[in-house]
Structure 1
Amino acid sequence: MELNGGCLCGRIRFNVTSEPRVHYCHCDMCRRATGSAFAVLAWVPSPDLTWIDATPAYRRSSPIAQRGFCPACGSPLSLAYDVSPGEIALHVGTFDDPARLEPRYNYGSGQRLGWVCCGVDLPHRETEERW
């Protein structure tokens, strides 16, 4: 499998060579970082991700994680937890063909907004972090 994607302005492109593990994330941190009701994240082993032409800028989004973004257009691109350096999440909306990446579970379900109804039939996993 090979998947490609990039930021809104096209400055940063990426290539992924493995099947991502995709989920909805309802945690406070993802909501604030994306400016949306939830994030849809595609997790891949770090060695299976190649940044093309340019690499993201990074900022610490919490005491446990950092996020990558395009410094030119501001597109959020990635999430990486300090305790899991071998994997990285990419925002599904940044893939060229996001329709191929269907979420399989929910994360942070206890923080789901009451009016969010997508994925309610999928398995749920909790988080203890709140930001």
Structure 2
Amino acid sequence: MEGSCNCKEVKFTTSSIIKAILNCNCGLCRKANGSAFSTYAVFPSCDFALKSGALKTVQISKNASKSFCSQCGSPIFNENPKYAGLKIVYLGALDNAEHLKPAVHTYCESQLAWLNDMATLKKMEQGFA
């Protein structure tokens, strides 16, 4: 599988061996990513190869680091020593990931209550004009 950042400066490849696809609802992911939850595909670290660009990595907690494009800031992956040997890749960083679907929600005790009502929200083809 291939992936990239928004500006295409960072490009990477990883195997097609996906350990999990998940939505993380923990408060740390919400804060670090500015979203209600984060969706990740988890791959073996040894199968991840940076092909171009530079990543900046910051320690966002005692157990988590976040790596992102040093040019545009697009998040690429997280790492956590509790999950040694794994890259927790942002689903949005994967090219052509439309066919990938999360199989599990994690840290559900932190999930925002309104997420249960998402299917009932009005749908718009385009954003606000």
Q: Confirm or deny a common fold (TM above 0.5).
A: yes
Relative distance call for 1:99 and 1:118 in structure 2 (3 A) is farther
**For 1:30-88, what per-residue CA distance to the aligned partner results, in whole angstroms no more than 9, with x for missing partners?**
11111110000110000111111124210001111101011110111111002333111
2:13 to 12, 15, 25: 15
Name the structure with the higher strand share.
1
**2:28 match:** 29
Q: Which segments of 5 or more consecutive residues in structure 2 lack a partner in the other structure?
A: 119-129
**Count of paired positions:** 118
**1:102 match:** 101
Determine what percentage of the aligned residue pairs are the same residue. 28
2:31 partner SS: helix
Name the structure with the higher helix share.
2
Q: Is the CA contact 2:64–2:80 (under 8 Å) kept in the aligned structure 1?
A: yes
4+ residue runs over 4 A deviation:
none
Which stretch shows the higher mean deviation, 101-110 or 54-63? 54-63
**For 1:84-104, what per-residue CA distance to the aligned partner results, in whole angstroms no more than 9, with x for missing partners?**
331111100111112122100
Q: Which segments of 5 or more consecutive residues in structure 1 lack a partner in the other structure?
A: 120-131
Give the letter aligned to residue 62 of structure 2: P
Larger radius of gyration: 2
